[in-house]
């Protein structure tokens, strides 16, 4: 991030415009940046330019967007993202963030989720423990290259210890999703990703033929259940005897393009979008 005096002056003007006329810009800047008043004056005069730490504090406190200051054109898009890893934002943390977002959305009225799906939405797997565990294991092992799973095979009857970290998170996520009205858009590719993952795991010796058969049977049951939900227009938990337990469910087939796991939440007059950046 390249800072020059003109950019710095523009940022200072933006800060000053938010202040009461009786408030000193130097005092305000010194407090925000945790520096002396003399250091604040040096920044105001341009003798000291903002560093990245200064910019971070300023944008956070005053809720400033840097696009206009750096001449970013309207055709460009800036965004924040959180990369899943094995240290400070694990797959468990990611699942917790899903639960948190669904909890917030569940409290809104009215609401609706639109999902353009490359893979079958993760929520459906979470109502079937064997499938949810396999998908989680596969992502940990092959997408995140988790060191604890380098030489570990998957067995649906005896799950790897690392999956205990997820506790009942998947079940809680499914129960939240169950209550949110939604429209899913699938393509030819949508059901095939999991089938290829099962096939790959078997070919590489990660699962034996018995586990492969169990996963395929569960997967077929899940697809049948999703078909039933689409026909009835309402969500339900597989093998549940309850009636009218879920929200509205719509399923559309996209014959033209492969989806990209794109979410659009509508909550009253507000909309929130979640999209992959790659």
pLDDT at 278 over 60: no
Q: Which sequence spans correspond to the domains of the chain?
A: 5-62, 91-274
From the list 231, 228, 222, the residue with the least C-alpha distance to 119 is 222
Residues 6 or more apart whose CB falls under 8 angstroms from that of 42 comprise: 48
Distance CA 192, CA 118 (A): 9
pTM, entire model: 0.72
Q: What is the pLDDT of residues 192-201, one digit of tens each?
A: 999 999 999 9
Query: Which residues are bridge partners to 183 per DSSP?
Result: 114, 250
For residue 73, the model assigns a pLDDT of 58
**What pLDDT, in 10s, does the model give residues 94-121?**
999 999 989 988 888 899 999 999 999 9
CB 118 within 8 A of CB 259: yes
The 10s digit of each residue's pLDDT in 134-149 is 999 999 999 999 999 9
Angle between helices 169-178 and 129-138 (to 10 degrees): 110
Quote the CA–CA distance of 26 and 191 in Å, as a whole number.
60
| Measured distance CA(278)–CA(275) in Å, rounded | 9
Taking the chain, what is the end-to-end CA distance rounded to the nearest angstrom? 23
């Amino acid at each position: 991030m390249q800072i020059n005096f003109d950019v710095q002056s523009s940022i200072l003007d933006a800060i000053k415009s938010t202040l009461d006329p009786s408030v000193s810009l130097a005092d305000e800047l010194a407090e925000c940046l945790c520096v002396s008043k003399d250091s604040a004056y040096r920044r105001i005069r341009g003798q000291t330019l903002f560093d990245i730490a200064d910019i971070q504090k300023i944008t956070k406190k005053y809720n400033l967007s840097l696009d206009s200051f750096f001449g970013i054109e309207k055709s460009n898009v800036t965004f924040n993202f959180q990369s899943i890893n094995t240290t400070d934002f694990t797959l468990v943390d990611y699942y917790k963030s899903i639960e948190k977002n669904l909890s917030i959305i569940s409290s809104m009225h009215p609401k609706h989720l639109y999902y353009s799906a490359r893979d079958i939405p993760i929520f459906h797997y979470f109502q079937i423990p064997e499938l949810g565990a396999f998908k989680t294991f596969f992502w940990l092992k092959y997408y995140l290259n988790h060191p604890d799973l380098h030489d570990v095979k998957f067995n649906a009857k005896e799950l790897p210890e690392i999956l205990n970290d997820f506790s009942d998170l998947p079940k809680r996520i499914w129960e939240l999703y169950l209550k949110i009205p939604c429209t899913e858009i699938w393509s030819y590719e949508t059901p095939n990703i999991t089938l290829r993952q099962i096939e790959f795991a078997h070919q590489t010796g990660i699962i034996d033929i018995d586990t492969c058969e169990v996963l395929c049977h569960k997967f077929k049951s899940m697809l049948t259940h999703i078909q039933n939900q689409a026909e009835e227009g309402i969500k339900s938990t597989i093998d549940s005897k309850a009636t009218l337990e879920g929200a509205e469910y719509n399923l559309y087939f996209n014959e033209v393009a492969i989806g990209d796991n794109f979410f659009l939440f509508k909550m009253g007059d507000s909309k929130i979008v979640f999209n992959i950046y790659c």
